[in-house]
């Protein structure tokens, strides 16, 4: 019997843990040392979850053996609602907060509760590819609006609005952005909110990196500018609090209750169908949001993430082949290989060679639903010295590739 996978998986991509990552595991099994830059997983790079979060989980283990409310522990939801109100998101109560097994699960729930077959969702390009995948898996169609490096990876509101159709149901924002590190200024967010208002779209904002900012960049919650719209704001413990393995995220449903009532009920139904999210780790939410800021020091001058980002900026500046839009937030850099040096550059072929020849695993830019094949993403989580070594290896490969091109041209002329 030939077991055929669901046709819904056709075209679904998640190359962050895809073919290249599988090849890296095979090379490691052969004894090769691989420097992994493909995923933003702080625990793999020596970062620790703050002690007061771990202690809260340990202290409440005895209270974590039963299912909790489908939307999550009340203490956790209260803390999330407090943060939302402090950020200017109106009409948020614990009853409008959903705790999930990471933001990933909540993205799926938020789209499943909204979409009918053929509905469209505006998604940035480049995007975090789970968004495009989740739209497709829930019967919708992702329509990508461009965020170009020439504009610091910020979208043009006029271009976004031209993509709205009668089937458009939602506008997705990812900021601070993964993979580019772009942080959206208030004026841009206001223009995007106005588009959602004119076309009665649900505004969905992925804000998992909200506390990871560089060089004085300011994070503005999108929902704070849209009190009259149905909004979905997503955050969690994974990145800012370095607790990926806890798998705790939250969804805040904003906007007038009368507009959101049916959608709220749909979210509650879907939350109930999976019973509840992981209970023990939910005890870390309140101390994370009410406790000390443990992230800002990492991204300030003298902090580890600041030093790693600086190492990348300096390496790209010295490179004969690379350029980079300065990342202002999140945990990534998205360098570009200059087209004048490699007019037909292929990001996936380059990534495979870098893995095989230099032992470095990164993610091709096209993996983020980006049409250009001249970018790649790395995480800023390793120590600065490791990143300097990585870029030395990248430069060495590009030098070889440039030499091969020159040899090929000379041979063609003979």
- As given in the structure block, the two tokens for residue 344 are 């037909």
Q: What are the CA-CA distances from residue 364 to residues 177, 334, 342, 352, 411 (Å)? A: 16, 10, 15, 9, 30
Q: State yes or no: pLDDT of 126 exceeds 80.
A: yes
Q: Is 65 exposed, middle or buried (0-12, 13-18, 19+ CB in 10 A)?
A: exposed
Q: State yes or no: pLDDT of 414 exceeds 60.
A: no
pLDDT, one tens digit per residue, over 158-178 is 999 999 999 999 999 999 999
In this prediction, residue 342 carries a pLDDT of 82
In this prediction, residue 407 carries a pLDDT of 66
- As given in the structure block, the two tokens for residue 188 are 């841009």
What is d(CA 289, CA 350) in angstroms, rounded to the nearest whole number?
Answer: 41
pLDDT, one tens digit per residue, over 353-385 is 999 999 999 999 999 999 999 999 999 999 999
The residue-averaged pLDDT of 246-272 equals: 96
pLDDT, one tens digit per residue, over 33-59 is 999 999 999 999 999 999 999 999 999
* Contact between 68 and 281 (Cβ < 8 Å): no
* Contact between 16 and 363 (Cβ < 8 Å): yes
In this prediction, residue 410 carries a pLDDT of 58
* Contact between 128 and 178 (Cβ < 8 Å): yes
Domain(s) labelled CATH 3.90.1150.10 in the chain stretch across 7-48+297-407
What pTM, to 2 d.p., does this model score?
Answer: 0.95
Q: State yes or no: pLDDT of 1 exceeds 70.
A: no
Question: What is the CATH topology of the domain spanning 51-290?
Answer: 3.40.640
Torsion angle of the four alpha carbons 302, 303, 306, 310, in this order, in degrees rounded to the nearest 10? 40
* 352 membership: H or E segment, kind and range: helix 347-358
The residue-averaged pLDDT of 60-81 equals: 97
Question: What is the CATH topology of the domain spanning 7-48+297-407?
Answer: 3.90.1150
Domain(s) labelled CATH 3.40.640.10 in the chain stretch across 51-290
For all residues of the chain together, what is the average pLDDT? 95
Confidence of residue 215 (pLDDT cuts 50, 70, 90): very high
pLDDT, one tens digit per residue, over 276-322 is 999 999 999 999 999 999 999 999 999 999 999 999 999 999 999 99
The residue-averaged pLDDT of 78-96 equals: 95
């Amino acid at each position: 019997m030939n077991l055929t996978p669901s046709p819904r998986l056709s075209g679904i991509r998640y190359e962050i843990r895809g073919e290249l990552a599988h090849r890296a595991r095979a090379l490691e099994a052969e004894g090769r040392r691989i420097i992994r830059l493909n995923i933003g997983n702080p625990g793999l790079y020596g970062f620790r979850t703050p002690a007061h979060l771990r202690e809260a989980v340990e202290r409440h283990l005895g209270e974590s053996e039963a299912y909790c409310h489908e939307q999550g522990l009340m203490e956790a939801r209260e803390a999330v609602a407090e943060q939302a109100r402090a950020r200017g998101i109106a009409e948020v109560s614990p009853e409008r907060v959903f705790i999930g097994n990471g933001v990933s699960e909540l993205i799926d729930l938020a789209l499943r509760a909204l979409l009918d077959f053929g509905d469209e969702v505006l998604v940035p390009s480049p995007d975090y590819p789970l968004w495009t995948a989740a739209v497709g898996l829930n019967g919708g169609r992702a329509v990508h609006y461009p965020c170009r490096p020439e504009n610091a990876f910020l979208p043009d509101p006029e271009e976004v609005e031209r993509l709205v159709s009668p089937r458009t149901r939602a506008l997705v924002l990812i900021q601070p952005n993964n993979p580019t590190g772009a942080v959206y200024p208030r004026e841009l967010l206001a223009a995007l909110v106005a588009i959602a208002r004119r076309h009665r779209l649900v505004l969905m904002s992925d804000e998992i990196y909200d506390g990871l900012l560089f060089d004085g960049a300011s994070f503005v919650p999108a929902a704070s500018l849209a009190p009259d719209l149905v909004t979905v704001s997503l955050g969690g413990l994974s990145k800012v609090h370095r607790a990926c393995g806890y798998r705790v995220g939250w969804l805040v449903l904003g906007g007038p209750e009368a507009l959101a009532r049916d959608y709220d009920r749909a979210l509650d139904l879907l939350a109930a169908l999976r019973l509840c999210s992981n209970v023990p780790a939910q005890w870390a939410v309140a101390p994370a949001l009410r406790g000390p800021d443990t992230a800002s020091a990492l991204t300030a001058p003298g902090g580890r993430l600041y030093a790693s980002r600086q190492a990348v900026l300096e390496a790209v500046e010295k490179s004969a082949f690379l350029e980079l839009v300065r990342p202002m937030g999140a945990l990534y850099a998205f360098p570009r290989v200059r087209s004048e040096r490699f007019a037909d550059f292929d990001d996936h072929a380059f990534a495979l060679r870098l893995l095989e020849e230099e032992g470095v695993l990164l993610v091709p830019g096209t993996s983020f639903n980006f049409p250009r094949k001249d970018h790649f993403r790395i995480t800023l989580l390793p120590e600065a010295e490791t990143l300097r070594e990585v870029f030395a290896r990248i430069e060495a490969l590009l030098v070889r590739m440039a030499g091969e091109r020159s040899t090929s041209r000379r041979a063609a002329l003979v």
